[in-house]
Every structure is written in C-alpha cells, then in structure tokens.
C-alpha cells in the first residue's frame, strides 16, 4: 500500500524529554507504524513504554519540555510535522480524534451532553445549530445511549461512567474522523462495559471507514477487537503482526511474557518471567529487553536487534525469536 492510501504513516519517530541532571530520556526511539483504512491497531505495552508519547507525537502535542527530535508523521499523505498550527488545529478533532480515560474530566460539567456534541459538529463542520443538534441526537443513538432525546439535555454527572465514556466517543466520532486514537480510554470501566464500548468503537470505525489506534496495557482485550497488534517496549516497537498470527505464534520474548502474565497458568508465567533477583546482572549495549529476557544469549548484550520480518507481515526485534510455541 502506498503512502497516500495509508491513513497514518509514521517513520523513524524519535521523542526526547530533556533532563537537567542527566542525559535526555528518549520516550520514543525510531518508531515506524503504518495504519491502513479500516484497521484497528492494538498498541500494547507496560506503563512508561511510550504509548501516550506516541499518541501525542502523532497529534503534534508532545508536552514541553518534550521534543520530536526526528521522524515523519504522514496523515492521509500530508506531513503533519510541516503543517502550520492553524491547518493542524483544523485537522485535530475533525479528522483525527483522541479518546482518553476519565470521561468526566473530558466533559464540561455545566453544559448538557447533547450541546457538547453539537458544539463540536457546529464548530468543525460549519452546519447550522439545528443540524448540529440533529447530528448529536444521531450520535447518542449510535453509541446506544437509552432514551437519547431525554439524554441530550442531561449533564455529565447525571450519567454513569460507562454512559459518559460513550458520550466522549460520540464526540470523538461526530465529525467522522479518519483516525481515532484511544489511549487507555476504557481502562477505568468494568469489563462488560469495556467490551461494549470497544464493540461500539469497532462497529463505528468500520461503518465510517476510519482507522483506530487502540492503546492499552491489557493485551488480552486486543484479541477480540484489533486487526493487528504492535507491542512497544522502552520506546521501540518490538513485535508487530496480524492479530491471529500474533496470538497463535507470538515471537518476541517480551510479548510472550505479557501474554503469560494474563494467563491463569503460574508455570507459564514463571517460565517467561525472570525472577527479580536475576534482573540487574545483564546491563549492556545490546537488546533493551535483555535484562528481563529469559532467552537472552551473550550476543544479546552486545548487538542491538533490528525489527525484521520473521514471516510475511510478522515483525520482531529479537536475535532469537520464538519460532514454534509448544
């Protein structure tokens, strides 16, 4: 697929947070990520691995003192980093929408939720107030909020957490964005509501021909909703594969460790997780995961692994990827 057919094409993206006392912390170290229309990419990694920084860098919103040192972000073929601030503002919210956790903080407590959705539509799409209210009602229906006519006039505090998150999703999708970035947006919800919201996000994304970058710490939830999985560790993608291949044949020891952590099998967890006492003895210039890796060999401490294809469409950053799972 050529760059212009892709919704998002991120290449060699580096983001640093300068520090007064030490060398800058690199939150992203050369991330490449391509997202095709209709794709739902699950971006999985532990806390601190760089997920939010990637989402923000895509939107051009890395918080100071963070800086994008290098890299390219093409959105529908347009270079986001070279776009002027006004053009980018126009794009954000309309063509790229972000959903984050804590819906109550996202919503204005003193404006009825219907008006909040209508305001976004009015502002971005230049339709009349009446049409915007019509879209707001359609969106409340689409996100399956019961009794939507009445809920148009509800204030955020009158809604449950799950309902408030649906309103946030309705706002995100009201202008039919091409890309929806969901950053841990469902982590505060209980499992059933989480699945409902994700299902909704998926059906709306498919209906509107958009794409989703679904960021989560919970690898298990991506199995049902994502088309492709990308695993991030210490600011680098370490594995990327279509969902079926990823869950059938995970290849990177870190991915397998994450999957084992969600399994109910203590022996499996133990086999793929290094005991805390063993971790400190492997500092080196090689693989970033070496200190915690149960498969590391001497070479892992000296040679930096590159992200390479181990099967068609299946990439892993590892000298000794797991080929077969027993």
User: What residues line the site for ligand ADP (CB under 6 A)?
Assistant: 17, 25, 27, 45, 47-53, 63, 66
Min separation Cβ 47 and ligand ADP, Å: 4
Binding region for Mg ion (CB under 5 A): 51-52
Cβ–Cβ < 8 Å for 214, 172: no
What is the Cβ-side half-sphere exposure of residue 326, based on CA atoms within 13 angstroms?
2
State whether residue 249 is helix, strand or coil: coil
- Nearer to Mg ion by Cβ, of 52 and 194: the residue is 52
Judged by CB under 6 A, the residue of 88, 94, 151, 296 near ligand SF4 is 296
The two three-digit tokens of residue 272, written as one number: 């793929």
DSSP string covering 208-241: HT-EEEEEES-HHHHHHH-SEEEEEETTEEEEEE
- Nearer to ligand SF4 by Cβ, of 220 and 310: the residue is 310
- Name, in order, each residue with C-beta under 8 angstroms of 6's C-beta and a sequence gap of 6 or more: 34, 35, 36, 37, 74, 76, 77
Q: Which of 252, 232, 170 is nearest to 41 (CA)?
A: 232
Min separation Cβ 231 and ligand ADP, Å: 12
Min separation Cβ 314 and ligand ADP, Å: 23
- Measure the CA–CA gap between 254 and 316, rounded to whole angstroms: 10
Q: Which of ligand ADP, ligand SF4, Mg ion, none interacts with 293 (beta carbon under 5 to 8 A by kind)?
A: ligand SF4
Min separation Cβ 55 and Mg ion, Å: 8
- Measure the CA–CA gap between 62 and 188, rounded to whole angstroms: 24
Looking at beta carbons, which residue is closest to Mg ion? 52
- Measure the CA–CA gap between 185 and 243, rounded to whole angstroms: 20
Min separation Cβ 101 and ligand ADP, Å: 11
DSSP 8-class letter at 7: S
- Nearer to Mg ion by Cβ, of 117 and 184: the residue is 184
Min separation Cβ 319 and ligand ADP, Å: 25
- Name, in order, each residue with C-beta under 8 angstroms of 33's C-beta and a sequence gap of 6 or more: 8, 10, 41, 54, 230, 237
- Nearer to ligand ADP by Cβ, of 106 and 184: the residue is 184
Total residues interacting with ligand SF4, rule: CB under 6 A: 12
Go through the chain and tell me how many residues it has.
326
Q: Which of ligand SF4, Mg ion, ligand ADP, none interacts with 305 (beta carbon under 5 to 8 A by kind)?
A: ligand SF4
Q: Which of Mg ion, ligand ADP, ligand SF4, none interacts with 178 (beta carbon under 5 to 8 A by kind)?
A: none
Q: Which of ligand ADP, ligand SF4, Mg ion, none interacts with 50 (beta carbon under 5 to 8 A by kind)?
A: ligand ADP
| 58 touching ligand SF4, by CB under 6 A | no
Q: Using CB under 6 A as the criterion, what x/- string covers residues 253-292 for binding ligand SF4? A: x---------------------------------x-xx--
Element (H, E) at 97: strand 96-99
Q: Which of 12, 306, 27, 43 is nearest to 185 (CA)?
A: 43
In the complex, the residues that contact ligand SF4 under the rule CB under 6 A are 253, 287, 289-290, 293, 295-296, 300, 305, 318-320
């Amino acid at each position: 697929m050529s760059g212009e057919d892709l919704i998002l094409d991120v290449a060699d993206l580096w983001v640093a947070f300068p520090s007064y006392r030490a060398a800058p912390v690199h939150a992203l170290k050369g991330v490449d990520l391509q997202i095709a229309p209709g794709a739902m990419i699950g971006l999985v990694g532990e806390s601190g691995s760089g997920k939010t920084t990637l989402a923000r860098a895509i939107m051009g919103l890395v918080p100071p003192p963070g800086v994008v040192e290098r890299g390219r972000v093409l959105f529908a073929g347009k270079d986001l980093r070279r776009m002027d601030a006004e053009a980018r503002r126009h794009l954000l919210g309309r063509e790229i929408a972000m959903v984050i956790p804590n819906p109550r903080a996202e919503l204005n407590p003193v404006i009825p939720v219907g008006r909040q959705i209508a305001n976004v539509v009015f502002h971005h799409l230049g339709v009349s107030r009446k049409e915007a209210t019509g879209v707001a009602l359609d969106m409340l229906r689409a996100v399956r909020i019961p009794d939507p006519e009445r809920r148009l006039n509800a204030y955020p505090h009158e809604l449950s957490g799950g309902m408030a998150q649906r309103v946030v999703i309705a706002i995100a999708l009201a202008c039919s964005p091409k890309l929806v970035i969901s950053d841990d947006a469902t982590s505060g919800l209980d499992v059933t509501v989480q699945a409902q919201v994700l299902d909704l996000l998926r059906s709306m994304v498919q209906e509107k021909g958009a794409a989703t970058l679904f960021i989560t710490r919970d690898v298990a939830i991506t199995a049902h909703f994502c088309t492709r999985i990308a695993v991030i560790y210490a600011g680098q993608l370490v594995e990327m594969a279509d969902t079926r291949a990823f869950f059938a044949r995970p290849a990177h020891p870190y991915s397998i460790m994450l999957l084992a952590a969600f399994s109910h099998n203590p022996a499996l967890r133990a086999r793929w997780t290094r005991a805390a006492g063993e971790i400190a003895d492997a500092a080196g210039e090689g693989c970033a995961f070496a200190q915690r890796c149960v498969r590391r060999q001497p070479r892992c401490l000296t040679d930096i692994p590159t992200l390479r294809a181990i099967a068609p469409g299946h990439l892993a950053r590892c000298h000794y990827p797991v080929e077969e799972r027993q």
